[in-house]
Amino acid sequence: MLNKNSPLPMYYQIEENLKQRMDTGEYTPGDMIPSERELSEFYDVSRMTVRQAVTNMVNDGYLYREKGKGTFVAESKIEQPLQGMTSFTEDMKQRGMDASNKLLGFETIPATHEIARKLHLKDNQEVYRIQRIRYADEQPMAIETTFIPKTLIPDLNEELVQGSLYNHIEKRLPIANATQVIEATIADEHQSQLLEVPPLSAVLHIERNSFLQDGTPFEVVKSAYRADRYKFISDIYRS
């Protein structure tokens, strides 16, 4: 099973073999993997070597532990390229997943100084604040709060925001580009409940400022994505 003459460490070979067994369907999401003792006997290595391999896979999001129960195969992460500007609904459709929303709040409020500055508005000018949970195949992926100038889309209502906002906006306004900032944070109690993750779980805080073709900013979006289900990929080039 393992090549003990290989320069690759034993723990790394175990990781790769377990990933291969997950890829072939021997272990599927939610399955409990064998115990450290069973894996050490199977691979004919020490339990310390197995523990290092399993811990690495937990840290990388392939596995998760439940205290007093065991170690289980995690759901695969959704890969989101950083190139291109797409909506959550479009992202999920491209992956063959069913996107849905749960509306937490829809209201018109006076813009704070921060939001007004990013949307090129005057302080206290009216904006929509839309709060939603975004789901993929009925699993919560993100909590999203969107701010849009009311003057840009005066007819926006609760029914429209249940679907893809971008589809509605692009019927009258040409979307061009966005600036996006991603930071790692810890979920607070409220976020943990909504995302159905343990308290203090890692989340990806993403803030997007989006613009129309004429340079007018049309939205600020603040999102908290589950770090155990989402990862971002970027192609980079040496200039």
pLDDT at residue number 86: 65
Question: Taking the C-alpha atoms of 71, 206, 23 and 60 in order, what is their torsion angle to the nearest 10 degrees?
Answer: -40
- Which of 32-41, 57-66, 172-181 shows the highest mean pLDDT? 32-41
pLDDT at 166: 84
Residue 236: pLDDT band with limits 50, 70, 90 = low
Note the pLDDT of residue 216.
94
Residue 128 has pLDDT above 60, yes or no: yes
Is residue 23 predicted with pLDDT exceeding 60? yes
Average pLDDT across the chain, whole number: 87
The token duo for 115 is: 């939001």
Give the class (CATH, top level) of 10-73.
mainly alpha
202 touches 224 (CB < 8 A): no
Nearest to 77 by CA among 233, 232, 229, 234: 229
Indicate the pLDDT class of residue 78, thresholds 50, 70 and 90: low
E runs forming strands in 4-98:
63-66, 70-73, 78-81
Give me the residue spans of the domains in the chain.
10-73, 78-233
Domain 78-233 in this protein, CATH class:
alpha beta
Asked if residue 139 lies in contact with residue 229, where contact means CB atoms within 8 angstroms, the answer is yes
Strand (E) or helix (H) holding 181: strand 175-186
Q: Does residue 61 carry a pLDDT above 90?
A: no
Find out whether 219 and 210 touch, Cβ atoms under 8 Å: yes
Q: What percent of the chain has pLDDT over 70?
A: 92
Rounded to two decimals, the pTM is: 0.69
